[in-house]
Amino acid sequence: MKTYRADLDILKGLSIIAVVLYHVGILPYGYLGVDTFLLINGFLIIPPIVEKIGNGSFDYIDWLKKRIYRFWPLVIIASLVCMVLGYFTMIPFDYENLGQSVVASDLFANNILSAITTADYWNSANEYKPLMHMWYLGIIVQFYVVVPLLLVIFHKCARKSGKNGMVAVLAGITSISFILYLLPSFSFNDKFYFLPFRIWEIGLGGLIGIILSRQRLQLNYYISLPTLALLLLCFVLNAKTFAQINTITIVGQSSVQATPLIPQNIVLLITCLLSAILLLPKKGWTENPMVNWIIGAGRMSLSIYVWHQIILAFLRYSVIDQMTVGVFALFVIATVGISYLTYKYIEPIKIDSKGKNCVMFASLAIVTGCGLLIHLRAGVFKDFPEMGIYANDPFQNRNTEYIDRIYKYDRPFDASQKIKVLIVGNSFARDFASILLEWDVEQRLDLSYQYCLADSSDPRFAQCDYIFYFGPKHEIPDEIWNKLSDDCKVYGIGTKIFGKNFGRIYAKHFSKDYLNQAIPEHSKCREINDQWRSEWGESRFVDLMKEAKRSDGLVRLFTPEGKVMSFDCQHLTRYACQFYAQQIDFYKIFNVEQI
């Protein structure tokens, strides 16, 4: 019979608090609480599996069903709540992504979806994604599917090796996963999202559990407390204030994220080591009643994990995106309240009859099917006239396709006498290319696109008449300047930002002033553009924020015709490109007469 370990609930409680504060933005390293959870998970589940496989009482299918059935009711309810809230609050682009996430979360594959799409857990866009954190359940369930099955297969093939053989296999799998994690040839994001790079954490916890089942070990009071203090130090490294977490990430900053005090992979390894030590039994942790609330958080950690990001994302998306003490208190109260209800009434649900099985799978099919339908209809179920989107034709105005059409212009110049224009840079440069296409429609310009300045031997540099580059002038290397003809004119393209998220703007769509909304220019954006302008010179710099200002000095969020400037507050819509094509004096820039 298992002995209850209150110290593990304390460890889980502290870890879930760190994860929540990470998503709030206060603890940049708080996400490491998930790594502690992975070790605890392995510590609790692997030793019983090895024991039962060894004595022939392990039913893989039954065990897997119980594990997954513990998650599914909560995940299905969370997905349903997100879709209902999203229908009323989200614009199509975000609702489409939510539908995709619902399907992936319900099938425990959100880690794979995140690796394929966002591919960056630290992307600020994740703040507004209600289900982005479900990657963790994907890792856990995928481990449940793969590793116990491998142990079962090994035991059937090598019965004489017994439990020691299975422990050796587990140690081997753990070691291979750890080596894969250490290899520099894989990106940090791949290591974050994919199971092969995470098995070692769960396996390490399992190996410690097996060792403890065979010999009695206990942490000394004077070791456990300093170890815990060091673990908490890892979580709180580079902690932020409310003022600091309310900033907007501006594309074009030389450093989007501050240089970490210690590299992330080093802190992760230290966190796992400290967590592994703290898995050992210890005395004195529960004698103080002040820790009862932490134990409570540990027991509710699954529900807290599921709900905190959902509440936080919709709060930021539709209500307020500035975190204050009051907003934080409201968020905590809502998270604890909802988490307690699901911990009390949803988590204990046992799917132990045919009737309950039918209800659960019917619910899963309906919710997952709705998520798939949302994705397939591009998130469109009602009219959004200000975006040019209508329910009877959901694919009429897909902004991603419009922005990305410039990729087909990554081509050599033709032999015509048209003005040869090379545009260089990321998606902000592609936005500018879209503006040029709206102005010229390929009548005068032979347009070509290049993502970066990596290849100075590209013949287009010697052939072009104009270059438009997104970024500061000093980033263009001398070897490219030397390739340009004397007549080639080089322009800089400024950066732009239209707020933090369009959800806050759309939240006012019932207001009579909805289409008149505007915002002050962000000070950091202005600072970057001023710096780049000083390098390029006034006559060779295209300041898109200046062109977007209204007569009152505010940055417009809608064109004069009442159309949205930017769905994601960074990239331009077709209507915005048409607006800029009329605002910018390209006739003067290219020294041509109006047709």
Q: Is the domain of 435 the same as that of 346? A: no
Of 109, 305, 281, 252, residue with least CA distance to 194: 109
CA–CA dist 318, 504 (Å, integer): 5
CA–CA dist 390, 380 (Å, integer): 7
Q: Strand, helix or coil at 282?
A: strand
Question: Token digits for 511?
Answer: 């207001």
Q: Is the domain of 99 the same as that of 59? A: yes
Looking up tokens 């031997």 gives: 457
**Residue 5 falls within a domain, yes or no?**
no
Q: Is the domain of 354 the same as that of 420? A: no
pLDDT value of residue 259: 46
Of 191, 211, 189, 227, residue with least CA distance to 42: 211
CA–CA dist 227, 232 (Å, integer): 9
User: With contact defined as beta carbons under 8 Å apart, do 76 and 364 qualify?
Assistant: yes
CA–CA dist 75, 105 (Å, integer): 7
CA–CA dist 309, 126 (Å, integer): 10
Q: Is the domain of 414 the same as that of 336? A: no
Looking up tokens 């960056």 gives: 120
Torsion of CA 223, 225, 228, 232, to 10 degrees: -140
Q: Is the domain of 427 the same as that of 348? A: no
CATH of the domain at 403: 3.40.50
Q: In what order do the strands lie in the sheet with 419-424?
A: 445-450, 419-424, 466-470, 489-493, 541-542
**Residue 460 falls within a domain, yes or no?**
yes
Of 320, 319, 312, residue with least CA distance to 25: 312
Q: Is the domain of 515 the same as that of 558? A: yes
Question: Token digits for 449?
Answer: 């696109």
**Residue 381 falls within a domain, yes or no?**
no
CA 366 to chain centre: 26
Q: Is the domain of 15 the same as that of 57? A: yes
CA–CA dist 570, 566 (Å, integer): 6
- Count of domains observed in the chain: 2
Quick: pLDDT tens for 220-254: 878 888 999 999 999 999 899 888 888 887 887 65
Question: Token digits for 58?
Answer: 């392990």
pTM of the model: 0.91
Q: Is the domain of 449 the same as that of 356? A: no
- Cα-based angle 329, 83, 113 (whole degrees, multiple of 5): 95
**Residue 257 falls within a domain, yes or no?**
no
Q: Is the domain of 486 the same as that of 584? A: yes
Task: Sort strands 518-519 and 555-556 into parallel, antiparallel or unpaired.
Answer: antiparallel
**Residue 137 falls within a domain, yes or no?**
yes
Q: Is the domain of 302 the same as that of 413? A: no
Quick: pLDDT tens for 270-319: 999 999 999 998 876 766 777 889 999 999 999 999 999 999 999 999 99
Q: Is the domain of 403 the same as that of 350? A: no
pLDDT value of residue 126: 82
Q: Is the domain of 415 the same as that of 495? A: yes
Question: Token digits for 144?
Answer: 């449940």
**Residue 387 falls within a domain, yes or no?**
no
Range of the domain at 372: 11-241+264-376
Question: Token digits for 9?
Answer: 């609930």
**Residue 391 falls within a domain, yes or no?**
no
pLDDT value of residue 257: 40
Q: What are the per-10-residue average pLDDT scores of the chain (595 residues)? A: 82 97 94 97 96 93 95 98 97 94 97 86 81 96 96 88 89 97 91 96 96 82 89 93 84 52 84 94 73 94 98 95 93 98 96 93 98 95 93 80 87 91 94 94 88 85 96 93 94 95 93 95 94 96 96 96 94 95 94 80
**Residue 189 falls within a domain, yes or no?**
yes
